Amino acid sequence: MTNLGEDMEKILAVFKKGIELESFGIKFYTEAADEVTDPKGRQTLQFLANEERDHWSFIVDLKHSFESGNESSAKKIINKRSESKAHSTVFPKMEDFSEKIAESKGDEKILEEAEDIEKRSIEFYTSAMADVKDPAHSDIFNILIREENGHLQLVHQMRDYMILHGVWSRLEDYFANE
């Protein structure tokens, strides 16, 4: 991370906007989980809310490191994140519920909005990555883009399953092919 001075303003602005995006995602997924009656759907949306909280914490920690000028701390945060997420395949388990969703159209709408949120996040982080000069800073955005792409794939799978079957799948079923 050698061109920190050149990129500092841009990166801090991106962190500020990223914190807002992740806060919106937390709020959306938390409220959506409260609206969904199917326990499998609720668990899945709570999982996504927790993922957004995790992104929020990651960005806040990086922002504090950058603001304090502590490059070694920022590198440690990035490396730790890269290592921990690269090997993460353990997802929460839940009982197998067979409850049908009475009004799956409302749930489909939630999933459409979730898809839009993830797409906007990917576009934002991709654009932000293009604006920074130091390639070393790309790691920050690559991590976030990769994770948001994972969320987008999950949301696509949820929508496809919902449209095809009219019910939510178990959360661990979405990760069965990993």
pLDDT of 126-174, one tens digit each? Answer: 998 888 887 778 888 888 999 999 899 988 888 888 888 777 777 666 6
Of 51, 40, 69, residue with least CA distance to 174:
40
Mean pLDDT in the chain?
Answer: 79
Give 154's contacts (C-beta < 8 A, 6+ positions apart).
Answer: 44, 48, 174
Sign of CA dihedral 152, 139, 57, 6: negative
Summarised one tens digit per residue, pLDDT across range 5-43 is 667 888 888 899 999 999 999 999 999 999 888 888 888
User: Does the model's pTM come out above 0.85?
Assistant: no
CATH says 4-83+98-175 is which class? mainly alpha
Both tokens of 96, joined, read 């197998």
Please, are residues 110 and 36 in contact by the beta-carbon 8 Å criterion?
Answer: yes
Q: Tell me the per-residue pLDDT of 37-75, one tens digit each, with 9 for 90 and over.
A: 888 888 889 999 999 999 999 999 989 988 888 777 877
Distance CA 52, CA 101 (A): 25
Cα–Cα distance measured from residue 17 to residue 123, given in angstroms and rounded to the nearest whole number:
13
Q: How far apart are CA 76 and CA 120, in angstroms?
A: 28
